[in-house]
Structure 1
Amino acid sequence: MPHIRIANDLPGIRGLMTDRPDTAAPLNAIADTLLRGDSPLTRGERELIAAYVSELNATRFCADTHGAAAAAQLDGGIDLVKAVQHDADTAPLTPLLRALLRIAAEIQAQAAPVRDETVAAARAEGATDTHIHDTVLIAAAFCMYNRYVSGLATVLPTEPGYYEEAGRRITAHGYAAAV
């Protein structure tokens, strides 16, 4: 049961944003910029970073929503997403994406500088400053989104197929027009 009264039946962050459109607009704009704006990372790769961080934070709503959006945009689909969420070190990823997920995991674990060795390993796989910047910012933002959703004890969807539909909606329309 949510810690606050939510005047709609929408699960997760969608319920919160519907109740508070004043905060929803900037939060959705951030998500849209990070996950759909200009980046050397594909939209699917950025959604995968969001899903991975959300999995590490045990925020089921975000892990499954962004996992579905990643699956809709990546070769390997949901099997790849599940493999990453289970163990990113053994999932069938490019060495660059694996190295970037290690950076994301360090951001999720603590508010401290990413270890020099982790950044050097990513650079050795071809990471540019923009790859590293975008990965750190996505991971940091999703720690905030996850804490928003989990901290208020939002409900999970009960409808079968909810996450797949959310993934299709996000892929087609993004976040700025969401809610």
Structure 2
Amino acid sequence: MAHIDLGLDERQFPGINGPMRFRPETAGPLNALAEALLHAPHPTLSAGERELIAAYVSGLNECVFCCSSHSAFAAAQLDGGMTLVQQVRADLDGADVSAKLRALLRIAAAVQQDGRKVTAALVDAARAEGATDLEVHDTVLIAAAFCMFNRYVDGLGTLPAADPADYEQAAQRVKVHGYGQAA
């Protein structure tokens, strides 16, 4: 049960969905941020790759709801599906992703620990694999935003979805409609 009374059945609105309904005036800007970072067209990073960054950071933060949901969202949009997402989360070095994405995920992991852990060496390594300044920027912003989203969900003590199929249903909704209709 959430730490505060959200005024709704948490089983129907798990994770971030309950707090978003509790404060719709903050839900709008948060959904707009998620839309811009994860779903809106991007010149080089696919929606699946951006969702994978969100899932990876959420896993490092041990946020069950965000990790589960964004893992499903990434899986729905990546050729490797959930197998690839699980590979990345279990063993980044051995995962079947490009060297560029691996370097960006290392930057995301550094942000998750402390933004100051993003070093020139990490950025140079990503650039050496073909990452652009835009990709580095967006990786840092996605990772930082998901540290916030994770703390929002866990700080209020919300429940994850009880049925894993709920994440897959939400993934299809987000894949088609983005974050305007995700909550």
Runs of 4+ in 1 over 6 A off after TM superposition: none
TM-score, normalising length: structure 1: 0.97
Structure 1 equivalent of residue 160 of structure 2: 156
Is 1:165 the counterpart of 2:169? The answer is yes
- 1:12-161 superposed matches below 5 A: 12-39=15-42, 40-112=44-116, 114-161=118-165
Please tell me the residue identity of whatever aligns with 1:5.
Answer: D
Query: How far is the alpha carbon of 1:113 from its aligned partner?
Result: 5.2
Query: CA shift at 1:177, angstroms?
Result: 3.0
Q: CA RMSD in A?
A: 1.1
How far the C-alpha of 1:160 sits from its partner, in A, is 4.3
TM-score, normalised by the number of residues in structure 2: 0.94
Cα distance in 2, alignment partners of residues 29 and 70 from structure 1:
18
Long gaps (5+) in structure 1: none
Q: CA offsets per residue over residues 60-112 of structure 1, 9 Å max, x none?
A: 10001011010000011000001111121211110000000000000001131
Counterpart CA distance in 2 for 1:74 and 1:160 is 19
| Residue type of the alignment partner of 1:68 | A
Amino acid across the alignment from 2:34: A
Distance 1:124-1:160 versus aligned 2 partners, 3 A rule: closer
1:145 alignment partner AA: F
Distance in 1 (CA, whole Å) between partners of 2:39 and 2:26 is: 20
Q: How many residues align?
A: 179
User: SS at 1:140's partner residue?
Assistant: helix
